[in-house]
Amino acid sequence: MKNLMKDVKKESIQRESAIKKNTAKHKKRRKRNLSLYYFLMGLLTVSVLIVLSLTVFFKITEVTLSGESQYSESEILSSAAISIGSNLIMLDTEKIENKLLDDFLLIDSVDVKKQLPSRVEILISPAVNFFQIMADDGRYMTVSSNYKVLALSIEKDESLMLIEGISPASLREGSMIGDSMQGKEALVKSIFSSFSSYGITDIRGINFISAADIRVNIEGRLQVKLGSESKMDYKIQLVSAVINEKIGENESGIIDATVEGTAGFIAS
Protein backbone atom coordinates (compact mmCIF):
# COMPACT_ATOMS: atom_id res chain seq x y z
CA MET A 1 0.00 0.00 0.00
CA LYS A 2 2.82 2.34 0.90
CA ASN A 3 4.56 1.62 -2.38
CA LEU A 4 1.36 2.32 -4.25
CA MET A 5 1.00 5.70 -2.54
CA LYS A 6 4.59 6.55 -3.35
CA ASP A 7 4.04 5.70 -6.99
CA VAL A 8 0.89 7.81 -7.11
CA LYS A 9 2.65 10.74 -5.45
CA LYS A 10 5.63 10.39 -7.79
CA GLU A 11 3.38 10.28 -10.81
CA SER A 12 1.53 13.36 -9.56
CA ILE A 13 4.80 15.29 -9.13
CA GLN A 14 5.95 14.28 -12.62
CA ARG A 15 2.61 15.38 -14.05
CA GLU A 16 2.85 18.78 -12.34
CA SER A 17 6.42 19.20 -13.58
CA ALA A 18 5.37 18.37 -17.11
CA ILE A 19 2.48 20.84 -16.91
CA LYS A 20 4.83 23.57 -15.66
CA LYS A 21 7.29 22.87 -18.49
CA ASN A 22 4.53 22.95 -21.09
CA THR A 23 3.18 26.16 -19.61
CA ALA A 24 6.64 27.77 -19.71
CA LYS A 25 7.14 26.66 -23.33
CA HIS A 26 3.74 28.04 -24.24
CA LYS A 27 4.56 31.39 -22.63
CA LYS A 28 7.87 31.59 -24.46
CA ARG A 29 6.20 30.71 -27.75
CA ARG A 30 3.46 33.27 -27.13
CA LYS A 31 6.08 35.90 -26.26
CA ARG A 32 7.97 35.15 -29.48
CA ASN A 33 4.78 35.38 -31.48
CA LEU A 34 3.90 38.72 -29.87
CA SER A 35 7.40 40.08 -30.57
CA LEU A 36 7.11 39.03 -34.21
CA TYR A 37 3.63 40.57 -34.39
CA TYR A 38 4.81 43.91 -32.96
CA PHE A 39 7.83 43.90 -35.26
CA LEU A 40 5.67 43.30 -38.34
CA MET A 41 3.18 45.94 -37.24
CA GLY A 42 5.99 48.42 -36.64
CA LEU A 43 7.49 47.66 -40.06
CA LEU A 44 4.09 48.08 -41.70
CA THR A 45 3.53 51.40 -39.91
CA VAL A 46 6.93 52.74 -40.97
CA SER A 47 6.30 51.62 -44.57
CA VAL A 48 2.93 53.35 -44.62
CA LEU A 49 4.43 56.56 -43.21
CA ILE A 50 7.21 56.49 -45.83
CA VAL A 51 4.71 56.02 -48.65
CA LEU A 52 2.50 58.81 -47.31
CA SER A 53 5.47 61.17 -46.89
CA LEU A 54 6.42 60.61 -50.53
CA THR A 55 2.93 60.80 -51.99
CA VAL A 56 0.51 62.67 -49.73
CA PHE A 57 2.46 64.66 -47.13
CA PHE A 58 5.24 67.29 -47.59
CA LYS A 59 4.07 68.70 -50.90
CA ILE A 60 5.81 71.97 -51.78
CA THR A 61 3.45 74.94 -51.55
CA GLU A 62 5.91 77.87 -51.54
CA VAL A 63 9.38 78.74 -52.86
CA THR A 64 11.03 81.91 -51.55
CA LEU A 65 14.21 83.72 -52.56
CA SER A 66 16.52 85.62 -50.18
CA GLY A 67 19.74 87.57 -50.67
CA GLU A 68 21.06 90.09 -53.17
CA SER A 69 21.47 89.35 -56.84
CA GLN A 70 21.79 91.12 -60.18
CA TYR A 71 19.30 88.65 -61.60
CA SER A 72 15.53 88.83 -61.26
CA GLU A 73 13.57 86.55 -58.99
CA SER A 74 11.73 85.06 -61.94
CA GLU A 75 15.03 84.19 -63.69
CA ILE A 76 16.40 82.40 -60.65
CA LEU A 77 13.19 80.53 -59.82
CA SER A 78 12.82 79.50 -63.45
CA SER A 79 16.35 78.06 -63.43
CA ALA A 80 15.76 76.29 -60.11
CA ALA A 81 12.69 74.60 -61.63
CA ILE A 82 11.09 73.65 -58.33
CA SER A 83 7.51 72.58 -59.05
CA ILE A 84 4.74 73.55 -56.67
CA GLY A 85 3.08 70.32 -55.53
CA SER A 86 6.21 68.21 -55.88
CA ASN A 87 7.55 66.30 -52.89
CA LEU A 88 9.78 68.24 -50.48
CA ILE A 89 11.56 65.13 -49.16
CA MET A 90 12.62 64.03 -52.64
CA LEU A 91 13.93 67.48 -53.63
CA ASP A 92 17.61 67.30 -54.67
CA THR A 93 18.94 70.54 -53.16
CA GLU A 94 22.57 69.97 -54.21
CA LYS A 95 21.57 69.56 -57.84
CA ILE A 96 19.62 72.82 -57.76
CA GLU A 97 22.50 74.67 -56.07
CA ASN A 98 25.00 73.51 -58.71
CA LYS A 99 22.62 74.40 -61.54
CA LEU A 100 22.13 77.95 -60.28
CA LEU A 101 25.89 78.42 -59.90
CA ASP A 102 26.39 77.20 -63.47
CA ASP A 103 23.56 79.26 -64.94
CA PHE A 104 24.40 82.59 -63.29
CA LEU A 105 27.98 83.86 -63.44
CA LEU A 106 27.48 86.59 -60.84
CA ILE A 107 26.06 84.31 -58.15
CA ASP A 108 28.83 83.18 -55.82
CA SER A 109 27.02 80.82 -53.48
CA VAL A 110 23.61 79.18 -53.22
CA ASP A 111 21.99 77.44 -50.26
CA VAL A 112 18.68 75.65 -50.90
CA LYS A 113 16.91 74.85 -47.62
CA LYS A 114 13.96 72.56 -47.00
CA GLN A 115 11.58 73.97 -44.40
CA LEU A 116 9.07 71.39 -43.26
CA PRO A 117 6.33 70.77 -43.95
CA SER A 118 6.03 72.44 -47.34
CA ARG A 119 8.39 75.36 -47.94
CA VAL A 120 11.67 75.82 -49.85
CA GLU A 121 14.00 78.78 -49.32
CA ILE A 122 16.79 79.70 -51.73
CA LEU A 123 19.58 81.86 -50.25
CA ILE A 124 21.72 83.73 -52.78
CA SER A 125 25.07 85.48 -52.31
CA PRO A 126 26.35 87.71 -55.13
CA ALA A 127 29.81 87.28 -56.61
CA VAL A 128 32.20 90.10 -55.69
CA ASN A 129 35.62 90.66 -57.27
CA PHE A 130 38.30 89.56 -54.77
CA PHE A 131 41.60 89.29 -56.64
CA GLN A 132 43.28 88.75 -59.98
CA ILE A 133 45.75 86.05 -60.89
CA MET A 134 47.69 85.56 -64.11
CA ALA A 135 46.96 82.30 -65.88
CA ASP A 136 49.57 80.32 -67.77
CA ASP A 137 48.39 81.88 -71.05
CA GLY A 138 49.21 85.42 -69.83
CA ARG A 139 45.62 86.50 -69.24
CA TYR A 140 44.38 87.83 -65.92
CA MET A 141 41.58 85.93 -64.27
CA THR A 142 39.31 87.94 -61.98
CA VAL A 143 38.25 85.70 -59.11
CA SER A 144 35.50 86.01 -56.49
CA SER A 145 35.86 85.42 -52.77
CA ASN A 146 34.44 81.94 -53.35
CA TYR A 147 37.14 81.31 -56.02
CA LYS A 148 34.83 81.53 -59.00
CA VAL A 149 36.33 82.91 -62.23
CA LEU A 150 34.29 85.99 -63.11
CA ALA A 151 36.27 87.41 -66.03
CA LEU A 152 39.30 86.92 -68.26
CA SER A 153 41.31 89.90 -69.50
CA ILE A 154 44.67 90.78 -71.00
CA GLU A 155 44.78 93.86 -68.76
CA LYS A 156 45.36 94.06 -65.04
CA ASP A 157 42.70 95.68 -62.87
CA GLU A 158 44.65 98.03 -60.61
CA SER A 159 41.82 98.12 -58.08
CA LEU A 160 42.17 94.41 -57.30
CA MET A 161 44.72 92.46 -55.30
CA LEU A 162 47.13 90.53 -57.55
CA ILE A 163 48.20 87.01 -56.59
CA GLU A 164 51.64 86.11 -57.94
CA GLY A 165 53.82 83.04 -57.76
CA ILE A 166 50.99 80.74 -58.87
CA SER A 167 50.19 80.21 -62.55
CA PRO A 168 47.05 78.12 -62.87
CA ALA A 169 45.73 76.92 -66.21
CA SER A 170 43.37 79.38 -67.88
CA LEU A 171 39.79 78.56 -66.97
CA ARG A 172 36.53 79.63 -68.55
CA GLU A 173 34.27 82.13 -66.82
CA GLY A 174 32.14 80.44 -64.20
CA SER A 175 34.73 77.80 -63.35
CA MET A 176 35.96 77.28 -59.80
CA ILE A 177 39.68 77.99 -59.46
CA GLY A 178 40.20 76.52 -56.00
CA ASP A 179 41.82 73.27 -57.18
CA SER A 180 44.30 75.26 -59.30
CA MET A 181 45.57 77.41 -56.43
CA GLN A 182 48.12 74.79 -55.36
CA GLY A 183 46.70 74.68 -51.84
CA LYS A 184 47.06 78.44 -51.32
CA GLU A 185 43.39 79.43 -51.49
CA ALA A 186 42.84 79.28 -47.72
CA LEU A 187 46.10 81.13 -47.06
CA VAL A 188 45.11 84.00 -49.37
CA LYS A 189 41.87 84.50 -47.45
CA SER A 190 43.66 84.17 -44.12
CA ILE A 191 46.26 86.84 -44.96
CA PHE A 192 43.64 89.25 -46.27
CA SER A 193 41.32 88.63 -43.32
CA SER A 194 44.08 89.01 -40.73
CA PHE A 195 45.28 92.35 -42.09
CA SER A 196 41.67 93.55 -42.41
CA SER A 197 41.05 92.80 -38.73
CA TYR A 198 43.72 95.44 -37.93
CA GLY A 199 42.18 98.00 -40.28
CA ILE A 200 44.60 97.34 -43.15
CA THR A 201 42.50 96.63 -46.22
CA ASP A 202 44.41 98.17 -49.15
CA ILE A 203 46.36 95.05 -50.05
CA ARG A 204 47.65 95.35 -53.60
CA GLY A 205 49.21 91.93 -53.94
CA ILE A 206 50.42 88.67 -52.40
CA ASN A 207 53.49 87.06 -53.93
CA PHE A 208 54.29 83.41 -53.22
CA ILE A 209 57.94 83.59 -54.25
CA SER A 210 58.61 80.28 -52.49
CA ALA A 211 57.26 78.25 -49.58
CA ALA A 212 59.64 80.16 -47.30
CA ASP A 213 59.21 83.59 -48.90
CA ILE A 214 55.72 85.08 -48.93
CA ARG A 215 55.44 88.82 -49.54
CA VAL A 216 52.57 91.28 -49.34
CA ASN A 217 52.23 94.63 -51.08
CA ILE A 218 50.30 97.15 -48.98
CA GLU A 219 49.07 100.40 -50.53
CA GLY A 220 51.78 100.15 -53.17
CA ARG A 221 54.31 101.67 -50.74
CA LEU A 222 55.03 98.92 -48.20
CA GLN A 223 56.60 95.58 -49.05
CA VAL A 224 56.05 93.08 -46.25
CA LYS A 225 58.25 90.00 -45.94
CA LEU A 226 56.39 87.30 -44.02
CA GLY A 227 58.62 84.31 -44.67
CA SER A 228 56.80 80.97 -44.51
CA GLU A 229 53.15 80.51 -43.54
CA SER A 230 54.17 79.35 -40.06
CA LYS A 231 52.67 81.55 -37.29
CA MET A 232 51.18 83.77 -39.98
CA ASP A 233 48.54 85.41 -37.79
CA TYR A 234 51.15 86.37 -35.19
CA LYS A 235 53.49 87.84 -37.80
CA ILE A 236 50.65 89.86 -39.32
CA GLN A 237 49.81 91.15 -35.85
CA LEU A 238 53.41 92.42 -35.44
CA VAL A 239 53.46 93.95 -38.92
CA SER A 240 50.11 95.66 -38.38
CA ALA A 241 51.34 97.20 -35.13
CA VAL A 242 54.35 98.65 -36.99
CA ILE A 243 52.15 100.06 -39.76
CA ASN A 244 49.54 101.55 -37.44
CA GLU A 245 51.90 102.90 -34.77
CA LYS A 246 55.33 103.59 -36.24
CA ILE A 247 55.07 104.36 -39.96
CA GLY A 248 53.78 107.64 -41.35
CA GLU A 249 51.00 107.70 -43.93
CA ASN A 250 53.37 108.75 -46.71
CA GLU A 251 56.36 106.65 -45.76
CA SER A 252 57.41 103.70 -47.90
CA GLY A 253 59.82 100.84 -47.44
CA ILE A 254 60.18 97.22 -46.36
CA ILE A 255 58.79 95.53 -43.25
CA ASP A 256 60.67 92.35 -42.39
CA ALA A 257 58.85 89.84 -40.19
CA THR A 258 60.98 86.83 -41.10
CA VAL A 259 62.84 86.88 -37.77
CA GLU A 260 60.65 85.25 -35.14
CA GLY A 261 59.00 87.64 -32.73
CA THR A 262 60.00 90.86 -34.53
CA ALA A 263 58.92 93.09 -37.38
CA GLY A 264 61.46 95.70 -38.46
CA PHE A 265 60.91 98.61 -40.84
CA ILE A 266 63.50 99.84 -43.35
CA ALA A 267 62.50 103.09 -45.03
CA SER A 268 63.25 103.61 -48.70
- Please count the other Cβ atoms lying within 10 Å of the Cβ belonging to residue 237: 16
- Is the same domain home to 1 and 103? no
The C-alpha atoms of residue 114 and residue 124 are separated, in whole angstroms, by 15
pLDDT averaged over consecutive 10-residue blocks of the chain (268 residues)?
Answer: 49 55 59 66 64 67 94 95 92 96 96 94 96 92 94 94 89 87 90 97 96 96 96 97 94 96 94
- Is the same domain home to 11 and 22? yes
Which CATH number do you get for residue 66?
3.10.20.310
pLDDT value of residue 22: 58
pLDDT value of residue 120: 96
Q: Is the pTM of this model over 0.85?
A: no
- Is the same domain home to 137 and 190? yes
Q: Quote the radius of gyration of the chain (alpha carbons, Å).
A: 36
Starting at the earlier edge strand, list the strands of the sheet with 253-256. 149-153, 140-144, 129-134, 161-164, 203-210, 213-218, 222-227, 253-256, 264-267
State the DSSP code for 46: H
- Is the same domain home to 102 and 149? no
- Is the same domain home to 184 and 202? yes
- Is the same domain home to 257 and 134? yes
- Is the same domain home to 103 and 197? no
- Of 14, 40, 55, at which residue does a domain stop? 55
- Is the same domain home to 139 and 178? yes
Q: In whole angstroms, how far apart are CA 251 and each of 31, 137, 221?
A: 89, 36, 7
- Is the same domain home to 10 and 108? no
- Is the same domain home to 109 and 142? no
- Is the same domain home to 260 and 195? yes
- Number of structural domains in the chain: 3
pLDDT value of residue 178: 79
Note down the domain range covering 18. Answer: 1-55
pLDDT value of residue 106: 96
